[in-house]
Structure formats: C-alpha cells, structure tokens
Structure 1
Amino acid sequence: MRFICSVAFLLLTAFVAAAQEKPQPIVASDLMKIVTVSQLAASPDGRQVVAAVTRKASKTNNATGATEYYYNQHLYLLDPSGKKDPVQLTFGDRRDGQATWSPDGQSLAFVRVDGDAAQVWILPLTGGEAYAITKTKYGASRPLWSPDGKTILFASSIPFHAIEGQVPWTYDRPGRKQGDEPNWKLLKDDEKKNTRSSPDGSLTEVRAWLAKNATDKNPRVLTRLDLQDEQDLEAEEKFVHLFTVPAQAGSETKQLTTGYQNFNGADWSVDGKSIICSSVKLTSAPDYIRTSSLWKLDADGKNLTEFLKVEGQPITNPQYSPDGKSIAFILGTNDGFFGRQNDIGIVAATGGTPTNITKNFDRDVQGFEWSEDNKAVYFNAESEGDIPLYSLPAKGDATPVQLIVGDKGVTGFTVKSGKIIYGLTETSNPWEVYAFTLKDKTQVPITKFNTWVSRKQLIFPKEYWITRPDGMKVQYWVLEPVGRKEGVKYPTILNIHGGPTAMWGPSAFSMWHEFQLEAAWGYGVVFCNPRGSGGYGDAFKRGNFKNWGKDPAADILASLDDAMKQHSWIDKDQLVVEGGSYAGYMVAWLIGHDNRFKAANAQRGVYDLTTFMGEGNAWRLVPDYFGGYPWEPETKKLLDAESPLTYVDKINTPFLIIHGDQDLRTGVVQSEMLYKSLKIQGKPVEYIRYPKEGHELTRSGNPGRMMDHLLRVIEFFERYVRHPEPPAASTSTN
C-alpha cells in the first residue's frame, strides 16, 4: 500500500511539474515584466557598452492602499562578448540615461531625472559615488565629452522670457512691442518692489499688473502658433542652447550660444577646437520654420557661422567621422510632413558640396553611425514590416547591404572594435541586445532581460501580400488564437496602425504584448500596412494624399477578406476592429461605411478634420495631407468628405471610444464630439477617459493604465463575440 501511495505521489508530483513547465499564455500583467534596453554606447576600447535599462515598477501607497505604477531607468554595463552578465551601475526610483564615455574610459557622464529638472552627473567607474556637475535652472541634457576629457558639452532649453536681446522677427502681440511691460520672472526682489502695477492705475501700471498675472499663468497669454504641447498648453517658445562645464564637481557652466535660435545635435570636432550642430537663422517665429542647416562654432562659443545649407531641406544630427575629415548628417525633404524622407548626407569637414549617399535608397533612414575606418556608414530603416540594419560605403554610389535581416527590428545600435551592438525586437522576444561581429558575421546575445518569455506560449505571425486593383501591393499578417483547433471557428480582431505613416510587422515592439495578449484571449489577429504606411517607399507613402478614408480602408478590408480566404478558422460573423490615433479615425470611418463588425474600439482618434486643425498639436497633418485649410471652400469640402463624423448617423456598431484627458496631439474634443453625436442618436456607445495621460498612453503611459486600457478593450469585445471554448488567458495559471 505504501508502495502504491509512493508511486501515486510521484506521478502526481511529475504531473504538477509538467503542468508548471508547460508554456503559459500571455496575460495582462506580463506587461510589467517587459524590460527594454536603449541608448547603447560603446567604451573607447570597445570592451564594454553602457546602456539605459527601463523597467516598469509598482508599489503600494501606504496612505490609500492603492497600487501605484511607474517607470525606473538605470545604467548598466554590458559585455560585448556575451560571457559576462550585465552589471547594474545606478539604482533607486529615478530615471538615468543619455550616458557617454570619457575618452579614457574611466568615467561616464549621464543625465539624471530626479526632481524638477534633469542635470548632468558623472559616475567614476574606478570607484566612488556619482555626483552632479550641473545645476542649471532649466535643466541639462545630451552630455558629450570633449576629446581631451576635460570638458562636457551639454544642451539646455531656455524659455522665451529668459532670452536676452531683440526678437529677430515681428513681435507676436498685435499693437505691442517687446519690453513694454515688466519681465516679472527675471526681476529681482528690489526691482519688483519698485515696479508699479495696479488694476486701477495708468495704462503702464495696468499692463504691469496684467503681466504679473500672466507670469503666474493666470491667465496664460497665447500668441504662438504651436500653442499645444503634448499634455498641456505651451504659452512660450523654448530655445535649445549649448553650454560647457569642466568635468569636475563644483565647476561653473559657460553658455556658448545665445539669442532666439535653436542649436541641436551638437558634436565635437576630433581636435576639440570646434563644435558642429544643426540650427536655423530665424526670420519669423520658430513655429513657422520647418528647415535647418549646419552651423559651426569655436569651442569657446566664438565665430558662430552657418556651415552648410541645402535649400528647402532640413539638416539634422551631424556626426564627425572618426578621422575628423568628414561630417555625416540626416538630410530630410521638406515636401510636407507625410512626404518627408530622411537620407544620409556627407560633406567634407572643410566644407563644400554635400553628397546624398542614400538618394537611391527608397526608405527612411532612422539612425546612423560611422564605421571605425571612415569608409562606411551603418544605419537602420523600416522596410516591409522589418527594421533591418544596413551598411553603405561613405562614398555612396552603391546599394545598401543588409547586415541584420529577417522578421526583426533593430531598435538602436553602436559600433566599436569590429562589432555592432544592437537592440532587437522579434516575435520570440520583445527586446534583447546582441553583438554582431563584422568579420565573420556571427552574432551572440549579450543580455537576457526577457528570458521569462521562454516560458510563454507565443503565436508567430504569418505574412501575406495582396495586389490592389490599382497595382498597389499591400502586406499583411495573421496571428491565430492560442490553442486553435482544426475545424473550429474563432472571433478575430482587425487591428489597425496609426500614423498614418507608421509601419507594423513582426518587428513592431509597441504591439508585441497587445497582439500576444489578444491571441491568448482566443482571438485571431489581422493587421496590415495600407497605402500611406512607411517602409514601402515614397510613392506608397504618398498614396493617401487627399485620401485618408476610402482607399486605405479598402486596402485594410481587402487584407481582412484575403485573410479569411487563407484561414478557414476566422469566423466572418465574429469580427471586431480596433485602432488608435489615425487608426482611431480609420475605425470610425470603417464602421460608418461597413456593418460587418460585431464591435469596435477607437482610441485617441481624429474624427472631424476641421476642428482637428485647431485643437491638436499635430494640426499640420491637415494642410500636408489635404493641400489646404478649412477656410478654403474646396479644402473644407474635402475635409468634410474625409471626416468620419460626417457619417456618424451610419454608425450602428457597438462602439468603445477611448481618449486621454491630456492628449493634445489629437485633442480631447475629437472624442467628445463623436461620443455625444452617437449618444444623442441612441447608438450603443461607451466612452473611457484616462486621467494624466496624453497621446502616448498605449506606448509609454502609466503601466497600470496601460493594462487597464488593454483589458477594457478585450472586455468590451467579449460582450459581443462567442468563443468555442474558454480563452487560454482567462484560465491561465499565471
């Protein structure tokens, strides 16, 4: 009997162990486990890489008992050989990043966000605590060591009121002049006491009193064109200026650039005698300027001059070659936002005519870096659902060669000592860092932050292409539901991307968790890149000019129709649809023209293009995509025809509308108008508003609200669809 019981116990133990080892479906809280690694920077000798590692965290508020969610970002040292585990350098509930190496490899300069303003810190790697070297009033960012290791260059954004000198364009207060009222923010205490201000005084005293109120943002006086920031109104412009500080504690900073001009993307010359950056000489208010050029200045801030200008094309991100003889930069077209394509330009460090080395490469360059021998440039670019890493001879006149290929997305990289260290997203893992050896083309993983994924049941997308009647080729993918059985029908989600110039595919990190979670809840997922998407060349990206609705919608529905032909398990009577931003627009458009969906969800969308012109900081999409402004009769007619709100009376699909309270990219009124219009008509609609959230809710929003968002959408769909059996995620043992 004892023997039988022992055997039974062993069998039960083995069964439980096997059950525990069986891959489990993705659940909502797995979002908290995802670790991302960014801002890779190799040491001067190439033997180490510093990286910013971001984690989501939570804690219990002792006063309320509520769970609070937030992010931490710390610095780590990575071993390019993959033989040593990453070493954590910074700790605590804070965000550290933008780390750069001292030339001798003994210290790191980095930016710490710990309080109201970010500052530059130094961390000695030979021992000792990190210490701050800046205490700038408006914060500091983008530190960069001088070649001799004695000085650190950094940037700071200075608000309009703190800039000295005469505004070089027409002052933006009609009938007023700059300086005709007290600048209360800069007055010293004794100056404030001697400044007369009264609501009952002279016009001068009244203006002083009004100016004092405006200083307290009560009210906010708005005179600029781009008055919306991401989550709040932005009443005054800010200007990025360059500073230097000796690389030791207690040093005084020196401002190199001044005035009403921005200086971005700075880089030291190899000899440390000069600095290159991108800027533009303003002849009108900055909100009206969409171009920039290269500027040079001496290391002490003297002899600031324009170095290179390409008419009508913005130049950004200059980077000296290792030998200092050339400068590479991003060269953009300026043919409207939607038509912009980023190329790589190269010019001699002494000046001259630049060469566009990617002019025949019909893709948008994202980031680039010089090879150590100055002969090539490495870069990544979106292409057909992937984000490969390419190499290209610096002389141009060649076809880029893909180094990192497949259904993968290179999220960032650095090059040193014959290796490319890069971040990677793929279906099997949301984010890890790898080392690619240029000589033998081998690669090894050097981080294992997301090994928990190996215990999960993942679904890999299947790729398809269709050709539309006008010849456009559209790429799409299908994920099947977890645990799918042959001969059984399953509900399916049509998930649409925003942008409109975004690109989805197996490399899309932002959708990794959402797609896998939906599959775990028993849904198939269909997603595509309709005309207007990035990653397919300039003509494809321009395919939705004056045409946001009809043809892109037809591409999307044609992908869904083809998916149903390819996969008999998709239940044509159990389809739902969702999307955010431009895809929120598209969801509302689809259900205003098609009744096939059982339920729909639109997030952060634009539904009336005329009002969007006024309330969203992305308002330039209106003139860029539709060729004019709402006060122009033909444009107004087009905007009405292309607005989902025009067809709101045709919407009968149960509809969940979601927006963030502080979303000023698309504007909260967009969702309020759509909701009220449907509610008045008695349509089945529900409205969700998230506090303290802007447009980036689903990508970088509060982790707790991100999970809430995901589950509210699924819960809404669950009201209207049937599953052949309980979804895997709902019965998970996680």
Structure 2
Amino acid sequence: MKAFSLVLTSLTIVISGIAHGAEIDLNHIQRLGPVNQLAVVPLSKSAHADALRANLVANLIDQSSDKKPETVQVFNQQLTWQTASSKAQGEGWLAYQLPVSTQRFTQGTLTVKGLDNPQVYLNGQLVKSANEVSLDLLNGDYNIVILADGQQQDTPFSLDWQGKSDIDELDFSEQKTQRVSAEQLFDAQVISDLTLSPNGKYLLQSTIEYQPSQGDTPIQVTELHKVSDNSVVYRWQDNRPSSAVWSSDSQQLAFVVNKQIQLLNMADLVIEVVATDIENVSGLHWYGDSLLFNWQNPFKADEKATSKRFRALEDRWSYWRDNTQLYQLDVASGFIRQLTDNKISTDFVDSNLDKNTLLLTRSPVDYAEPAHGLTQLIELNLKDLTETMIGEYRSFSGALYADDGMYITAGPRFMDGVGIQDKSIEVNDYDGQLYWRDDKGNVSALSKDFDPAIGSMTKLENDDVVLTVTEGDRSPLYLFDKSKSRFSKIDTGIDMVTNFSVAVEQSTPTIVFAGTSATVPQKAYKMALNASRKELLFDSQKLSYANTRLGEIQDFDFTNKLGQNIDGRVYLPADFDANKKYPALVYYYGGTSPVGRHFTGRWPFNLWAAEGYVVYVLQPNGATGYGQAFSGRHVNAWGKYSADDIIEGTKAFLNAHSFVDPKRVGNMGASYGGFMTMYLATKTDIFAASMSHAGISNLSSYWGHGWWGYGYSGVASRGSFPWNNPELYVEQSPLYHADKITTPLLLIHGNADTNVPVGESHYMYTALKLLGKEVELVEFNGQNHHINSRQARFDWWNTTMAWFDLKLKDQPEWWNSLYPETK
C-alpha cells in the first residue's frame, strides 16, 4: 500500500486560553528498535540526514500501514514493532509510531521526551526536527512517526499532547482503517490514457500520480503492455510519447517525442526516427503507409506593441491567432508535404483510404445565428488536394466515415432540427445526438428516441460504433448496431467510464476501459465487447485505498411539483450513526450537465462525508442525459426551473432524513452552479451558509466578457440578448436582487479566470458589503476557472470546508487559522 502524506496548509496561530496537557499512554505507541547494528553514524549526523530519514520513514510506513506489529528486516537484523511500554534493549536509532484521529480542526503541541534528536513526521511528511512540534490537524486520521538517534540515559521516553484549548483533543486509539484524505484523492495513481492495438495484442497505458516531495509536478509513466498477460514490454517516463497511434497491422506505433516523430517496431522493439526538428506537431493518424498530422504555426505577437486591435470575439482566446494545418509524412522516404493551406485553422476528422479522401473541419467567424459559431465539414481529395464542402453546421461535434456513408454527432437542431423529438418543446444544443448521412447526402436521426446524450464515437470494422454517453448521472458505453439500428449498453459495471479503447480490427473486438463509481476508486478492465466477463488490469483501490473506509451512498430521488422525477444521491459519513444529528451540504451544477458519479475530482463528496457531513447531490431540470424535454428546460431559464428543483429537493431530502439538522444545511456550486448558489440566495433562506465558486452574478457582463460567454449564452439564452430580452438578463441576474440575500455567502474565484472573469464575484461582493450583508471573498492567485494544481487544490478545499465548519458546526478555529483578522 502506498503511503500518503498530509501537507500542512495553515500556520499555527497562538490563541489565548488554557489548554491542559496529557501524557500519551505508551500502550498506544509502537516502537521499532533500537537498531544497534547500524549505529556507526547517528541518523541526524549523516551527510545526507534528511534524505536518509525521509526514505526510512517512507519504508516504515509502507511496512506498518495496517497498524499491526510486524517483523522488519534491516540489513541482517530482524526487528519487531512492539508497544513503547516494553523496555528498549541496546543502543542505536529508534522509530516510534502513533495513530491519531481528530473529529474537528485541532491545534496543539506534541512534546517528545527521552530521545536524542527526534524528528516528527505526519503521514510520512516531515513536520519538524525538535522536541516540541506544533501541529495543525484537519478533521481526519493520521499516523505520526518519530525517528531518533537513540535514547537519553537519564530521561524516560514519553509523548505529551497539549491542545491550544480544551477543544483540541486527539484520539490515540488504534484503528484498522482510516477515513479517506484529500492527499489520497489527489495523489493516487490513476490511468490517464489507454490505446489498444487494432489486433488487440498490445495496450499502451499512461498513468499519473503525485508525491508531496514533487509538489505540483506529476509523475507520469507510459507503458506498453502485452494484453495476454498484462506484462510490460516497453516503458517511458522522462520522455513520454504523445499523439501515439497504431498502424492498421499493429506492427508499428507512431508517436511524437523530443520534436521528433518516432516509430516503435513491435517485431524487435527498436525505435526509428522518421521526422525530426518538428515542433508543435500533434494528432498523428496512420493513412496507409504514411502518417497524417497537425502542424501548428504559433502566432508571434509584437513584443513592442502597446495595443491590440481585436479581429473578432474569438480574439480574446490566447490561442486563436495560432494557425494549424494538415501535413502528410511518407514514412519510407521521410518526405513531408502540406495538404491544406488556409487562413483558418484546419482540423483532421477522419480518413477513407479506399476513396483516397479525408474529412476536415474549419470554424470561420460567423455570428449570424446562435450559438454564434459555425463549423464547415470538408472532404479533401488526396489525389489532387481539391476540397468539397459537405456542409456548414451550427451544432456539429464529429464525423466518421463508414462503408456507404458517415456517422455524425451534433445537437438536436442539426440539419434544420431533424434530431428533435418534439417540435413543440425547446431543445438544448448540448444534448448530443447521433446521425447517419448516406452517400447521397440524405441525413437521418439515429438517436431521436434515445435519451442519453451522445459524446464521442469509435467505429468498428463492421461499421458498428462504440459510443460514450451521458445517461443520468452516469457515463457508460453503448454499442450502436448499424444493421439493426439498435443501441445496447456495454456491461462494464462502472458508473463513470473515463477512458476506453477498442481493438477495431478483431472480429470479436476486445475493449479495455477505466473508470470509477461513486464510492469505488478507479479500476481498469479488459473484456470481449459482446461479453460481460471482465479481467482486472488495474486497481487503484488496492494500490492506494486498501485500508480506507468510506461512508455509504444511497439514491434519493423525488418527484417535483411538475410531476418530474429529479435524480439524486446521498453520501453518509464514514462512521455514520443514525441517532446523531448531522450538518449537510447540498451540491448541484445546473449548467446543462449532470453531476457525475466520479469517485474523486474537483468536488470530493467522499471527503466531505469523511469530515462529518451528509452530502446531497441532485440533478435539477436542464441537465443532459435525461431526455430532450428535460435538458431543454435549461434554455432561456437561467435558474427558473433549477432553483425550484433545488429548493424543493432540499426540503424533500430534509423530510426524508431525520438525522440531518435542518438548521445546519449549506449549499455550493461552481461556474453555472456558482451562479445558482447566488441566485438561490435571492430566493430562499433554507440554507445556513453558501459558497459560490467562479459564479456568474450578472448575465450581461458574463455574456459580453467571458471567453466563451457569448457562445454559451447562445445556448443558455438562445435568441435572447440584453436589448431584446432585458427582463431575462436583469431578473435572472443575482446582482440585481442582492438586497434579498440573508444567507452568509463565501465567494471563491481564481483571479486568472478567463471563462467567468473574477469581476463576477466582485460585483456581488461590492453589493453585499454596501448592503451590510455577511460575505467573504477569497481569490486564488494565478488560478483559472478550474483550480488544478496540487497545493492550490488543497488550499481551495480547505477554504471551502473551513467556511462550512465555521457556519454549520460553530467551529471557527480552522477558518481563523487560514484567514486571521491580522492578515
């Protein structure tokens, strides 16, 4: 089992008040050593003392992670973990370990007596080398390890805990498992990419993980596996391949690395460089014996320029002036030719070797109709490089060649609304649909009566396609059988499939996939596409969560006042007691996508439950994956339906769960969900505290200033503008109703947010300050719309939960330690 460490994210603050100290019972502490056979140079005196001790602690934690005494082999000396109350025999270095649990943010001082040069580690992370060590512990379970050069002759060993006040208590009793931690959820190794060879014999697998010592720098590894026994036949780490793609005969793997296009020949595992000095190349695709690729020409701004004239709304995008075109590499000769040359970037979509053609897309500037963007689908003849325009579309997503036509994914309005189920209802352009276009140009809707929203597609040799879909709050895989025109779910047993690959050339294709469920960490499997028996390839639970306990999850749906079923789920605390009264958190999005059943991510529901909250997640009207009528209620609503569902759902949730304290319920959301949080604060007082991350307070300013504001509003506010529908832009903007807000509100925003500019939180902060309302604004420096870097993510999570501990648990200590009045 891997050891995960806690990064202390707050400074210890000296506060007034008397705290009583207590010597810790030695029976709670385990000792290893003395290790007298190695006492040549004391641990602390080594030339590489810090690295030596850090490695020692990491290995000790790995060997003692289940908290049971074990025999440890140190060179030729066998040692056993035993209680510290037993007499230590001999001289040499020692290690002590102590389990610690907290039920709230806890501060205090750990005092070590009777040891020479003690060094204190918390979950494998060095805190300090000292006899007195200040600790700030978040609500959770920990393992303290102390290393020392040896024992003092005149002072017996003891550990003493002195809390800063009488509330700062620790539990030192041994536990067989630990509650999940933020570090586990962020750091654990997961699969980031899977690519099967067409014949199903080889799998290219990439993983990513983090370690405290590496900070924000991930550890990424790409391995080539033999599928038959999952053995590794090749491995990259320092120079990992990108844009990897298999040849149709599975004999060569092409990829980009070090400004080169390289080939790995499977016959002898020898790498051949076929193109060099080619920077900004991506998107490799085999075409017969040649390779197609995108080559970007980055725009070089005039460094001396003092101004910029915008060419279009898209010019606010930092990358819009870059130009990418398509090239072809003849592998045998190394000759490269340019296939497209256009002022507009060209994107490769698919190829047809038999017809000698490629499918391409371009996106010219065109605001004539919502969503104020246009996609051109173009066929390129490789014989003479002539281009044929297939069509110009407003809601196009992708296309794939088939034997007698092509598949297309697009919104319901594609081709004058051929995919709309009911012409009398509003539809959501983000509700993906599957279409068929025959060789004569006739288009038919394949998924009109299929409620899940279509995502990506992979075509098999027989022209069937494997589809990623959004189905309620799950993301399964479906197979579309072309001959029967039928959708069937692939039995993966996983709620959220995040990566998959299919051996497209097999008569009975093999599929590999990775994903999570709401309370199950990432696993990866292989199986035959037409079977249900799976073979496990990767198990994050075994690697990183073997001794972790989670709370249960329960479905909780309710029928709203319109008679519609509103999907939801409830996470219970890890040590749930139905006789207790718990605070609760309500989470939602509302911005046209459901909140998926991911195990972890930016919104760690399992962590909140581990910290003692009941968590209710619901999917209000407007979300895709529940049918066109349901998702269509997102359009020109901006909270009207969603707010009603959230308020009604929260009341139903409270009525159905007597162990939740109705006076201690908080709510939060991000982006559109942050908008929903501010909007809800103008509509209800059922929440005791609220948090809006990157929320929209003024629809007009987001529409006009956010990088994608005009485009998103072209869907969410289709046909409505500030000049023709001021009621929508004013009445649905929380800013214009700030005087109605009574709920304490925390506003969090990255000050480098390009999607929802940070001003959206500032508008609301200004309004509430002038109105004398309770509001906090926390900016995260240099962070964009999503807070993704490791330490910033922990700080963000801590800020959010410290706020709710302050308001829902009446525990101000954590918040005050993060944001003291003196700073």
Q: Does 1:48 align with 2:202?
A: yes
The aligned counterpart of 2:41 is none
Deviation at 1:397, TM superposition (A): 3.9
- 3-state DSSP class of the match of 1:530? coil
Taking the TM superposition and a 5 Å limit, the aligned residue runs for 1:393-408 are 393-395=481-483, 397-398=485-486, 400-404=487-491, 408=495
Q: Distance in 1 between matches of 2:620 and 2:366?
A: 39
Q: Distance in 1 between matches of 2:344 and 2:440?
A: 22
Taking the TM superposition and a 5 Å limit, the aligned residue runs for 1:480-491 are 480-491=572-583
Q: Distance in 2 between matches of 1:85 and 1:455?
A: 27
Deviation at 1:618, TM superposition (A): 2.5
Taking the TM superposition and a 5 Å limit, the aligned residue runs for 1:621-632 are 621-628=712-719, 630-632=721-723
Change (3 A) 1:41 1:12: closer
Taking the TM superposition and a 5 Å limit, the aligned residue runs for 1:615-626 are 615-620=705-710, 621-626=712-717
Residues 371, 713 of structure 2: 8 Å contact kept: no
Q: Does 1:502 align with 2:593?
A: yes
- 3-state DSSP class of the match of 1:647? helix
Note the alpha carbon deviations across 1:433-480, whole angstroms, 9 max, x for none: 211223442112212345212321123421122111122221111111
Q: Distance in 2 between matches of 1:287 and 1:88?
A: 49
Deviation at 1:605, TM superposition (A): 0.8
Q: Distance in 1 between matches of 2:322 and 2:762?
A: 31
* Pick aligned residue for 1:532 from 622, 644, 658: 622
Residues 381, 387 of structure 2: 8 Å contact kept: yes
Q: Distance in 2 between matches of 1:702 and 1:466?
A: 37
- 3-state DSSP class of the match of 1:223? coil
The aligned counterpart of 1:317 is 398
For 2:312, the aligned partner's letter is: R
Normalised TM-score (structure 2): 0.70
Deviation at 1:217, TM superposition (A): 4.8
- 3-state DSSP class of the match of 1:577? strand
- 3-state DSSP class of the match of 2:709? coil
Normalised TM-score (structure 1): 0.78
Q: Does 1:70 align with 2:229?
A: no
Q: Distance in 2 between matches of 1:598 and 1:656?
A: 12
Taking the TM superposition and a 5 Å limit, the aligned residue runs for 1:305-454 are 305-306=388-389, 308-309=390-391, 312=393, 314-321=395-402, 324-334=403-413, 338-348=428-438, 351-374=440-463, 376-395=464-483, 397-398=485-486, 400-404=487-491, 408-416=495-503, 417=506, 418-451=509-542, 452-454=544-546
Deviation at 1:610, TM superposition (A): 1.3
Taking the TM superposition and a 5 Å limit, the aligned residue runs for 1:94-109 are 96-109=241-254
Deviation at 1:46, TM superposition (A): 0.8
Taking the TM superposition and a 5 Å limit, the aligned residue runs for 1:181-580 are 214=302, 216-229=304-317, 233=318, 237-247=321-331, 251-271=334-354, 273-279=356-362, 290-299=373-382, 302-306=385-389, 308-309=390-391, 312=393, 314-321=395-402, 324-334=403-413, 338-348=428-438, 351-374=440-463, 376-395=464-483, 397-398=485-486, 400-404=487-491, 408-416=495-503, 417=506, 418-451=509-542, 452-497=544-589, 500-507=591-598, 510=601, 514-580=604-670
- 3-state DSSP class of the match of 1:404? coil
Taking the TM superposition and a 5 Å limit, the aligned residue runs for 1:575-590 are 575-590=665-680
Deviation at 1:264, TM superposition (A): 2.2
Note the alpha carbon deviations across 1:666-720, whole angstroms, 9 max, x for none: 11111111122222333322222122221122xxx11221111111111111112
Residues 261, 282 of structure 1: 8 Å contact kept: no
Q: Distance in 1 between matches of 2:714 and 2:406?
A: 34
Aligned-CA RMSD value: 3.5
- 3-state DSSP class of the match of 1:553? helix
Q: Distance in 1 between matches of 2:276 and 2:387?
A: 24
Q: Does 1:669 align with 2:669?
A: no
Q: Distance in 1 between matches of 2:410 and 2:262?
A: 32
Identity of aligned residues (%): 22
Q: Distance in 2 between matches of 1:244 and 1:224?
A: 31
Change (3 A) 1:107 1:473: same
Residues 461, 506 of structure 1: 8 Å contact kept: no
Taking the TM superposition and a 5 Å limit, the aligned residue runs for 1:34-183 are 34-57=188-211, 59=213, 68-81=215-228, 83-85=229-231, 89-92=235-238, 96-112=241-257, 120-125=261-266, 126-128=268-270, 131=273, 133-136=275-278, 139-148=280-289, 151-158=290-297
Bigger share in strand: 2
For 1:241, the aligned partner's letter is: Q
Deviation at 1:528, TM superposition (A): 0.4
Deviation at 1:389, TM superposition (A): 1.4
Deviation at 1:87, TM superposition (A): 5.8
Residues 224, 287 of structure 1: 8 Å contact kept: no
Q: Does 1:689 align with 2:779?
A: yes
Residues 401, 407 of structure 2: 8 Å contact kept: yes
The aligned counterpart of 1:206 is none
For 2:306, the aligned partner's letter is: N
Change (3 A) 1:449 1:625: closer
For 1:409, the aligned partner's letter is: M
- 3-state DSSP class of the match of 1:469? coil
- 3-state DSSP class of the match of 1:227? helix
For 2:495, the aligned partner's letter is: K
5+ residue gaps in structure 2? 1-26, 33-66, 71-81, 84-96, 100-172, 415-425, 815-823
5+ residue gaps in structure 1? 61-67, 162-184, 186-212, 728-734
Q: Distance in 2 between matches of 1:415 and 1:342?
A: 22
- 3-state DSSP class of the match of 1:694? coil
Deviation at 1:525, TM superposition (A): 0.3
Note the alpha carbon deviations across 1:563-584, whole angstroms, 9 max, x for none: 2222211111111111100110
Residues 482, 519 of structure 1: 8 Å contact kept: yes
Q: Distance in 2 between matches of 1:567 and 1:386?
A: 24
Note the alpha carbon deviations across 1:350-374, whole angstroms, 9 max, x for none: 5542443223213321111223333
Note the alpha carbon deviations across 1:5-58, whole angstroms, 9 max, x for none: 9xx999984999998772211111113333332443221321112133233355
Residues 103, 145 of structure 1: 8 Å contact kept: yes
Note the alpha carbon deviations across 1:141-179, whole angstroms, 9 max, x for none: 11012222xx210113446x7xxxxxxxxxxxxxxxxxx
Q: Distance in 2 between matches of 1:433 and 1:521?
A: 29
For 2:533, the aligned partner's letter is: T
Residues 35, 431 of structure 1: 8 Å contact kept: no
Bigger share in helix: 1
Change (3 A) 1:519 1:269: same
For 1:415, the aligned partner's letter is: V
For 2:325, the aligned partner's letter is: H
Deviation at 1:256, TM superposition (A): 0.7
Specify the structure having the higher radius of gyration (Cα): 2
Residues 531, 541 of structure 1: 8 Å contact kept: yes
Change (3 A) 1:678 1:31: same
Q: Distance in 1 between matches of 2:796 and 2:272?
A: 38
Change (3 A) 1:132 1:21: farther
Residues 111, 119 of structure 1: 8 Å contact kept: yes
Change (3 A) 1:351 1:296: farther
- 3-state DSSP class of the match of 2:772? coil
For 2:687, the aligned partner's letter is: F
The one of the two structures with greater contact order (alpha-carbon pairs below 8 A, sep at least 6) is 1
Q: Distance in 1 between matches of 2:369 and 2:295?
A: 17
Residues 609, 615 of structure 2: 8 Å contact kept: yes
